[in-house]
Structure 1
Amino acid sequence: MRSNYSEDLLEHRSANTYAKDGLGQPIPSQVEMQVFIRKRTWNADNVSTYLNYDVQRGKFKHKLLLGYDYAQQKQLPGGSQLQARGYRNAANTGAINSFNPAQSGNYLLDSNGNPVPNVSHFDLTATNPYVLRDMSKYFYTSVRYDPSLLRTQGIYLQDQIQIGKLQALIGLRQDYFTDVINYNTPDEEEVTQNAFLPRLGLVYSINSHINAYGTYVTGYQPQSASAINNPLAGGPFDPLESELFEAGIKSDWFDSRLVVSAAIYNLTVNGELYNAGVAGSPELLVQTGEEVSKGFEFDVIGQLATNWSITANYAYNEATITESANEEEIGRQKPNAPKHQGNLWTKYSIENGKLAGLGFALGSNFVSDRLGSIVPAGQDPKEFPSYQLWNAGVFYHINKVRVQLNINNLTDKTHWVGGYDYLRAFPGAPRNFLATITYTL
């Protein structure tokens, strides 16, 4: 498989901080802005090949798998970026990324003694703050993206063994990662990383209704090309490494009219990247040490009657930062990871009479509060509040035609599905409607 990706970006967006007055204090009604003009092109190639072989030796059944895969991503010459941000210098001939009130003489000040922004602030109180800007008046800095090549290849061997009620999956994989910096230039340099990744899975049929399972999986992945190749991100960064232990049961009852599953897990991740939250350096990233997520999940799918079904699930996730260069982060819940979440959905349809084929559905989902992104020492991360939403649906099914109307977020609740901080928060959808008509041939 070959693919091509071209980025042609032009955007005004928040600089991740409030505007500053002449004393360097934040102006809560104004947001600093920045402009990006960026063009880059990549080519990507992928090859995947494998062989399956089934064999039985006595009581042992084997499903053998041998495979090899290769992938590469090449950033082509000519990539570059223009960026405008910060405040204008005193001569109005350029811009300084952030405002330092102790050196206010270096800045162009307005009649109120406030620094003049390079890109006009976004006014949170304006009735209509969305206006066109004359981008030719901005002062830009230039960033060049040199050609680069990332490639990975791996060979793996897997055996799925069955003996009676027990099945075991044993997998071994060897990965090779190569990052070619300054590709096709006299300064070309190769950085190679290797990883051996075992995995193990077990399934045991306790009886005809209940299966128990356990799994152990390791992971290793260099950081994304966008982080590696961004000179403003602050790299180089260590790879992302993980280790997962999971155990659970899956069961079905009453001719599969009731399906119940439960699982517990412990996931350890090293090397997650987060936005550093440093004013004046909106693309700067910071890498945490170790994060441990442990919890359990519970799911129920039930057919209460031939025309009445219910689906419910609940998940508890204690995802904690256990190692970090910033000691204040240790013990905190990792960003955008709620401890509690779940949903309930039930559907009922009328089987007989003049209203046969008419059905109704009602459900709710909830998410507990979450913390925003990593913040510099001495600051507290922003908190996004918990929320519960209600959804409903009505449908009518006759012969081969089904008409359905869904209403999501019935109460039109304002909620936030995540974000970094209050200036970069992701709002959930307001009340919305979806109508569908389906015809089965």
Structure 2
Amino acid sequence: MQRLLLFIFLTFITTATAVAQETGSVRGRITTSDGTIAEGVTVKFKGTTFAGMTNEDGEYSIRKVPYGTYTLVVSAVGLYPKEKQITIGKGVLVADFSLNENRSQLADVQISTNRKKFKVDKVSPSLRLQSPLIEVPQNIKVVTSRVLADQMVFDVVDGLTRNVSGTTRTGHWDAQYANISTRGTTIPAFRNGMNMKMPWGPLADDASTIERIEFVKGPSGFMMANGEPGGIYNIVTKKPTGENHSSVSLSGGGYNLGRAAVDLDGKLSKDGRLLYRLNLAAQSKGSFNKYNFNDRYIFAPVISYQIDSATTITAEYTHQHVTAQALGNYSFSAIGFKDVPPSFFLGDPALDPSKLSDHNITLYFNHRLDNNWKVNGQVAYVKYGLEGGSMWLSSIAKNGDMLRYYNLSEELAINKNAQMSIMGDAKTGSIIHRIMGGVDMGNLKTWGDFSPGNSDIRLAITPTNPTGIFNVYNPIYGIPTANIPIFDRSRSIQVRSGSNTYATNLTYTGVYLQDEIRMLEEKLRLTLAGRFTHSVTVGKTNATQISDNVFSPRVGLSYSITNDFSAYGLYDQSFLPVAGQNYAGEAFKPIRGNNIEFGLKKDLFDGKWNATVAAYKINKKNVLTADLDPEHLAINPNAQIQLGGIESKGIEVDIAGEVVKGLDVLLNYAFTDARVKKDANPLLIGRHVPNSVKHITNGWLSYRLKNANSVLNGFGLTGGYQLQFDRYAGSTASPMKLPAYVRFDAGASYEKGKITISALVNNLLDRRLLTQGSYTNLGSRETATSSSYYTYIYDMPRNARVTLTYRFQ
């Protein structure tokens, strides 16, 4: 009995000592002697099991180290190891290292430690967030260029959304624009942290310029508050690395697809301070629509100069040019969805092709004040333009006879942005304040001219078509030149659009401050932030001149249950300026959005893959809806009021990473319930938001055999699925579902040394898939020659692609 009591007493003392043992943390940043970030470097306490590894920013962190004096060792393949004696005490110790090595030797380190293909641990600097994704109190997903290459994606409308839970694309204008939605709302496009949102643009980014794409779910006050509450997606373009990552690729495929892309990456000076990156791409693509085609080229040079070890300036220019026979690839039918075949073409080969282009110039300034603080600044200028025309429906009869009209389609948009931000860590006792502050300014001016031409574009009168009417079931092409309207373009588009509603001018200035308070050895993180935004929408009258001053708070909480498992909660707000006025001439208030979100994040199997589960609820108020008051309609037949409200709630699950050696997996599922909560018309309350999808699940698997002793070494298989159920058409007035979206893709590849050959078949089952659909109900206005009708856009039928890539390193 005495021995038992002694054993219990000693066990208690040992346990109590272990519990009471005080621990501290160490973190730092590792670079080479020429200032290059050292990614994938091992940091270890000599003679212990405490260790860490630097991330893509060269930063590391090791927590819960018992008080004491240790020898810290940094090492990696191709780098000389270095040791430093440190003493761990209360709080966080900062220990930085500079390794005596050059860029060419560092390249071996980065290649040898690059294990992650689908999983990303941290966002790009353009999103400003300094903490790892597992610690950020928000659902953020990153799609890398390696994923795009594996899926043979050539632009952001080419199957990109399959990689992010609950994210869809609504087809429009032959896929020239992305139109990406998540959580029941359309989300704006960003490039390198700059807002590119335009009424019609920007053009869909080409994969040749993309390093990664970051999807931020929910309001993103740290980037922008004046937008939809569903979130944003941020295109991060390729920058110089200082190493030879150059490559060339040639692609071919169905529907006369031909493509070439060149990526040149290197130094312009021997000391490695002046770097360059040049991406070139040209693509010619036919269409499953008769006579349609889409040709493009891309020119994207970047130059970076390292002034000193702490300061870098970068200049970037991206130009895209597209020529397309027709912008609209819509199908129409009075019978139902999928009634006409995918080959149906609304346009005509007798019409001139449309030309689209955008020019994007961006200047970056990055300066590290010390080991903790850095300052970033950037300015961007984007000019987007369209010249052409488009064919649209005037009316359609039950037998398929259609009257068409041809209108001018000309657009110009100039978007200017400027950002300045400062970020770093400060300590108050044992608490760390991760502070971020910044100023954003932007001005967007747009002009458009969509003047209609003839309201009835007739075909040539022939014995087989004596009326010259176009029929969707038996289309005849070849409009006589005399029947094609000629538009007056003698005046500039700025002058022409001054007389219509397509001339807009929006200016905003935002100030943002965030403090991420890291407590309990940085296990508990409280985010307190706010953005004040002043926006002005220039109107043609004093009544339509809108000036908004809005404060948008942000509160987040994240807790690390273990080093690789965290839970979070978030409250964030957004607002969206609304142009126009009600029947009485009163300007509309901005649409407000509130997001409440909770989630869990878990890294598994030594950080090789991770899983995220998130639940959210978004409320939008002040949404425009039709004014049903007869007295108001007598004043303005198109009168609107701000009585609408929308509620969107759902659950998202994302899994990404290397499950077993050689097998990388992306899996996601989302349940989205987006409904009208408040409206002037009681019949609309409870109906689903147009273009929302209730159930979405996607999967992508990529396996490559890595066995040097096998003849199949380097052989890979890849494939995936996209499933969408309970899809709601683009109209609340006539509630209607779209057909389910079920798509399977599969491919194979072979990698040997510097060469990779890849082949992929999309839409393997050759299903008729729709990327968009709506219904127009004419009701009592229906006649024998004008019926209610369905509008929809087909996705690509079954098609194959083959790509040959040669890497210079």
Identify the TM-score tier after normalising by the shorter chain. Answer: 0.7 to 0.9
Letter in 2 for 1:125: Y
In 2, Cα distance between equivalents of 1:359 and 1:346:
10
Aligned 8 A contact 1:347 1:362 in 2: yes
| CA distance 1:158–1:320, shift in 2 (3 Å) | same
Using structure 1 for the length normalisation, give the TM-score. 0.76
Alignment partner, residue 161 of structure 1: 517
Q: How big is each residue's C-alpha offset from its partner over 1:358-417, in whole Å with a ceiling of 9 and x where there is no partner?
A: 1112321100132222354xxx23421112111101011112222111111101110112
Alignment partner, residue 321 of structure 1: 676
In 1, Cα distance between equivalents of 2:484 and 2:639:
26
Alignment partner, residue 755 of structure 2: 401
Letter in 1 for 2:400: S
Letter in 2 for 1:265: Y
Aligned counterpart for 1:202 among listed residues 553, 557, 561: 557
In 2, Cα distance between equivalents of 1:75 and 1:307:
49
| CA distance 1:81–1:338, shift in 2 (3 Å) | closer
Aligned 8 A contact 1:14 1:423 in 2: no
Query: Is 2:655 aligned against 1:300?
Result: yes
| CA distance 1:273–1:358, shift in 2 (3 Å) | farther
In 2, Cα distance between equivalents of 1:70 and 1:262:
34
| CA distance 1:274–1:313, shift in 2 (3 Å) | farther
Alignment partner, residue 737 of structure 2: 383
In 1, Cα distance between equivalents of 2:403 and 2:477:
13
Alignment partner, residue 410 of structure 1: 764
Alignment partner, residue 48 of structure 1: 419
Report how far residue 166 of structure 1 moved.
0.7
Query: Is 2:715 aligned against 1:358?
Result: yes
Q: How many residues align?
A: 382
- Mapping of residues 86-235 of structure 1, within 5 Å: 122-129=470-477, 131=479, 134-135=482-483, 144-145=499-500, 148-164=504-520, 165-182=523-540, 190-223=545-578
Letter in 1 for 2:473: T
| CA distance 1:367–1:134, shift in 2 (3 Å) | farther
Report how far residue 80 of structure 1 moved.
4.7
Report how far residue 82 of structure 1 moved.
2.1
Identity %: 26
Alignment partner, residue 619 of structure 2: 268
Give the secondary-structure state (helix, strand or coil) at the position aligned to 2:451: strand
| CA distance 1:302–1:12, shift in 2 (3 Å) | closer
Aligned 8 A contact 1:56 1:62 in 2: yes
Give the secondary-structure state (helix, strand or coil) at the position aligned to 2:554: strand
Question: After alignment, is 392-401 or 37-46 more displaced?
Answer: 37-46
| CA distance 1:306–1:243, shift in 2 (3 Å) | same
Aligned 8 A contact 1:396 1:402 in 2: yes
Alignment partner, residue 101 of structure 1: none
In 1, Cα distance between equivalents of 2:716 and 2:500:
56
In 1, Cα distance between equivalents of 2:411 and 2:722:
40
Query: Is 2:744 aligned against 1:367?
Result: no
Give the secondary-structure state (helix, strand or coil) at the position aligned to 1:156: strand
In 2, Cα distance between equivalents of 1:188 and 1:355:
71
Query: Is 2:429 aligned against 1:58?
Result: yes
Give the secondary-structure state (helix, strand or coil) at the position aligned to 1:72: strand
In 1, Cα distance between equivalents of 2:803 and 2:610:
28
Aligned 8 A contact 1:54 1:61 in 2: yes
Instruction: Please give the root-mean-square deviation of Cα atoms over the aligned residues, in Å.
Output: 3.5
In 1, Cα distance between equivalents of 2:772 and 2:641:
19
Aligned 8 A contact 2:403 2:456 in 1: no
In 2, Cα distance between equivalents of 1:411 and 1:75:
42
Report how far residue 129 of structure 1 moved.
4.4
Gaps of 5+ in 2: 1-379, 458-466, 489-495, 628-637, 776-788
| CA distance 1:46–1:299, shift in 2 (3 Å) | closer
Q: How big is each residue's C-alpha offset from its partner over 1:138-171, in whole Å with a ceiling of 9 and x where there is no partner?
A: 999x972376532111112111211121112211
Alignment partner, residue 336 of structure 1: 691
Query: Is 2:415 aligned against 1:67?
Result: no
Greater percentage in helix: 2
Alignment partner, residue 13 of structure 1: 392
| CA distance 1:267–1:28, shift in 2 (3 Å) | farther
| CA distance 1:199–1:130, shift in 2 (3 Å) | farther
In 1, Cα distance between equivalents of 2:566 and 2:801:
38
Aligned 8 A contact 1:275 1:374 in 2: no
In 2, Cα distance between equivalents of 1:206 and 1:406:
42
In 1, Cα distance between equivalents of 2:773 and 2:626:
11
Give the secondary-structure state (helix, strand or coil) at the position aligned to 1:328: helix
Alignment partner, residue 82 of structure 1: 451
Aligned 8 A contact 1:370 1:418 in 2: no
Greater percentage in strand: 1
Q: How big is each residue's C-alpha offset from its partner over 1:331-368, in whole Å with a ceiling of 9 and x where there is no partner?
A: 11111111101012223333342122111123211001
Report how far residue 67 of structure 1 moved.
1.8
| CA distance 1:343–1:190, shift in 2 (3 Å) | closer
